[in-house]
Amino acid sequence: MIDFDNTMEFLVDIKANKKEIKKELEELYDVDVISIRTMITSKGEKKAAVKLAGDGSANELATTLGLL
């Protein structure tokens, strides 16, 4: 999911912490991460809302991933 404020949501490993999530995203996709919010869904999955630096970075990443 891509929000209007350059934020994307990812399902992540339940054991992953914010530092690990940030490091992996920056290394895998060569993006700059501003902030990460995590939550546990009612299904027991961990979701990370990741805010990216730069205008349109979320759209560019979604295009790279084949989501758009």
If you write DSSP's letter for every residue of the chain in order, what string do you get?
-B-TTSEEEEEE-TT--HHHHHHHHHHHH---EEEEEEEE-TTS-EEEEEEESSTTHHHHHHHHTT--
In DSSP terms, 51 is beta-bridged to 7, 35
**pLDDT the model gives residue 22:** 96
**pLDDT the model gives residue 20:** 97
Q: Domain locations in the chain?
A: 7-64
> What is the second-level CATH architecture of the domain 7-64?
2-Layer Sandwich (3.30)
In what side-by-side order are the strands of the sheet with 7-12?
7-12, 46-52, 33-40
State the distance between the two ends of the chain, measured CA to CA, in whole angstroms.
Answer: 10
Tens digits of residue pLDDT in 16-51: 999 999 999 999 988 899 999 999 999 999 999 999
**pLDDT the model gives residue 6:** 87
